[in-house]
Structure 1
Amino acid sequence: MGVQAVIFDWGGTLTPWHDIELADLWRAICTAHLPPDDVEKAAAALADAELALGRRCDEEQRSATLPEVFEIAGVEPTEALLATHFETWTPHTHTDPAVPGLFTALRERGISVGVLSNTIWSRELHERIFARDDVLHLLDGAVYSSEIPWTKPHAKAFRAAMDAVGATDPASCVYVGDRPYDDIHGAKSAGLRAVQIRHQTTHAFERPGLTPPDALIHALDELLPHIERWHAP
């Protein structure tokens, strides 16, 4: 069957990896909309809530949403504050320049292109980013954990992504991601091939006993030869 679909992680895979301090981001967001005396308390509560939900995703493989962050923190998510949230994150969301050419090359070979992301953000926010960077039309399907009960590495998350791109056989699918546990171990456990893109902080997520990737790359422009090798009759 060759390769029927290639499914990508988002942050740190389709976007360059950035080290981010959540408290600083939330402080900048809150400063634009809250009274000065409320900024530090609100920013700390929002950062704590997001980190707590992140731990739940990691430890229990249960998804979370941005509205949950605001609810736990006790902060009202006004439209203006949400707009500032998106703007503040914008420098960290730009799509890797290699992506349009890579997606086009995959589709030219009859291979579907998908996304599976552990994210608290909505589909609308992600699609706004992909449209801004002119790659939304190159996606055959996408699954965001904010819309389903599970997060990677749960096998049902990978199955949902396969369904989104119309793939039926996990052995014919390749997952590309940066995290050894969520992405690589999760995909391999679900029966997919897995390619790890390694960046400067990947080692921080390593743990013993994980399934190794089928291929290791350091940039997206190194991916296509592996796909072609597996896709060849």
Structure 2
Amino acid sequence: ALESRGVEAPSDTVRAATLAAFETPVQRRPGAAAAVEAAAERGPVAVLSNCSIPGLAERALSQAGLADRFDAVVTSVGCGWRKPHANAFQAVADALDAPPETLVHIGDDPEADGGITAVGGRAVLLTETPLQAVPAALDDA
């Protein structure tokens, strides 16, 4: 991943950074489980992460106690695209076997997560909507 961006780093540095990422403790934000449950009541639920380390997103979900609550986990390393590119959101639609315009993407980065609009979906941005208010925001979707 670094090489593709013209960054040269010694392999031992890359290995150490990767191991550190797997050793970093994960904390679930208050309201996260309720938001995921509310989404699941409305249809299939996926994670779209710009993670570039294979298995890291799944590990974080497991440590947060949320791994079994998702129908799909799509990562940039897995699909080859990063948010906000439309192809990343299309990969989620494909994984859920859902039309992309039916997707509601919840995220905390207006630029990256707002990319959902490129495929006709809707963004619920945590910069504007507190996590605890996500269930109500989904009702407005």
Name the TM tier (shorter chain): 0.7 to 0.9
Q: Which amino acid aligns with 1:223?
A: V
Considering only CA atoms, is the larger Rg found in Structure 1 or Structure 2?
A: 1
Q: Quick check: 2:47–2:74 contact (8 Å CA) kept in 1? A: yes
Aligned equivalent of 1:42? none
Change (3 A) 1:104 1:120: same
Aligned equivalent of 2:140? 229
Counterpart of 2:39 (choices 98, 106, 114) is: 106
**CA offset digits 1:7-66 (Å, max 9, x no partner):** xxxxxxxxxxxxxxxxxxxxxxxxxxxxxxxxxxxxxxxxxx96x97xx5xxxxxxxxxx
Aligned equivalent of 1:175? 105
Question: 1:152, 1:130 → 2: CA distance?
Answer: 19
Question: 1:165, 1:182 → 2: CA distance?
Answer: 20
Gaps of 5+ in 2: none
Structure 1 stretches of 4+ with a deviation exceeding 3 A read 77-85
Q: Structure 1 residue 117 and structure 2 residue 49: aligned? A: yes
Alignment RMSD (CA, Å): 2.7
Q: Which has the higher contact order (CA 8 A, sep 6+)?
A: 1
Give the TM-score normalised by structure 1: 0.53
Give the match's secondary structure for 2:11: coil
Give the match's secondary structure for 2:123: strand
Q: Which amino acid aligns with 1:222?
A: A
Counterpart of 1:191 (choices 120, 124, 128) is: 120
Give the TM-score normalised by structure 2: 0.83
Give the match's secondary structure for 1:112: coil
Deviation at 1:138, TM superposition (A): 0.2
Change (3 A) 1:194 1:121: same
Gaps of 5+ in 1: 1-48, 57-67, 199-215
Number of equivalences: 141
Question: 1:180, 1:80 → 2: CA distance?
Answer: 31
Q: Percent identity?
A: 30
Deviation at 1:110, TM superposition (A): 3.8
Q: Quick check: 2:46–2:71 contact (8 Å CA) kept in 1? A: yes
Counterpart of 2:22 (choices 86, 91, 116) is: 86
